[in-house]
Structure 1
């Protein structure tokens, strides 16, 4: 199976917080999942922790490499920029990742994240959806020690909603 590609400064184990969530389900493909992830205006329809989504400069509705966008999540306003975007292609995983931030640089409220998704078709009509996020900053250090972990639980809700939305659209 494939893995997330990490930029310098965001490698798990060297950041203030890291979370990883994954599902493998049958009856769906990466092509079924992709539109629900790459079109962020759909996120609030299946994931209650995402709101106020906007792609800047009149772009969209589907995100592409270099796009800047905004959304609210985990109580944070998050401007973000797409740093990796590979739609499903037979024989290779789909990938989308963004660098997001909240708060002013140099302040205690600053949070920087790298949130990455990998959607991989597997044998026997299965798809693997992996989402991982690393974070730097004081808010990340606080979240890392919280029990239950809000990032793990929130991203699991995102995965669950994503699968349900794709199944519903497919009529499965």
Structure 2
């Protein structure tokens, strides 16, 4: 949770107590990888409130914009120079509109001797129905935004990604290097 704060993905709520009643508080829990003891936070957008209602009951999933995985893999096999990559913390790199922030609130305290505080998640939150759509749609928008400046990268954003994984390549080493640079930028 400290990483969320340090990276600007979460902040102490600025809402008053009265405004806080218009918030939705997401349940969350840790998942620990036993081999590495790394902890990951899981938010439960399907948890029902006392009215038997969850955010995922009301949120739309949205369409899937990317090619099917098989199409992406088959295209990948046509390149003599292969490139693969991953967008680190993809969902957490997409900010939500400030009006939507109160709908992603959590209760948290860093130790048992501290008071529970309300925090707002500022980013697309994994565990909510539209999260995959929002993250992948952001890639399409980025492709449109950089099309003139990064023609190889723009095309790769549209055709080489399956969610946050890049599976692509180029015909020459020079073009592959250029593509890598453009995708990184």
- TM-score, structure 2 normalization: 0.29
Q: Which has the higher helix share?
A: 2
Q: Which has the higher strand share?
A: 1
- TM-score, structure 1 normalization: 0.31
- Specify the structure having the higher radius of gyration (Cα): 2
